[in-house]
Amino acid sequence: MEELTVQLHSFFNSSTSYRVRIALALKGIAYETLPVNIRTGEHRAANYVASVNPSALVPTLMDRDPCSRPK
């Protein structure tokens, strides 16, 4: 099984997360969903802000493939 390099940090009921999921599906990009509960403030937690998104926003799309990043 191929390891997924794209991660989507999202909340299931977020309209912006929904639009990102639609775009990924239309492009045929496989991704891993990492749920973030914005109702309990997970997106404002220190570890989320430090390691995922310093702006503390959801959704966040991360590509872990170093070959796909611009040089």
- Over the stretch 21-63, which tens digit does the pLDDT of each residue have? 999 999 999 999 999 999 999 999 999 999 999 999 999 999 8
Band of the pLDDT at 71, cuts 50, 70, 90?
low
Contact 48, 42 (CB under 8 A): yes
What are the structural domains of the chain? 6-66 (3.40.30.10)
What CA–CA distances, in Å, run from 56 to 11, 25, 45, 52? 13, 25, 8, 8
pTM: 0.83
> What pLDDT sits at residue 66?
65
CA distance 57 to 38: 9
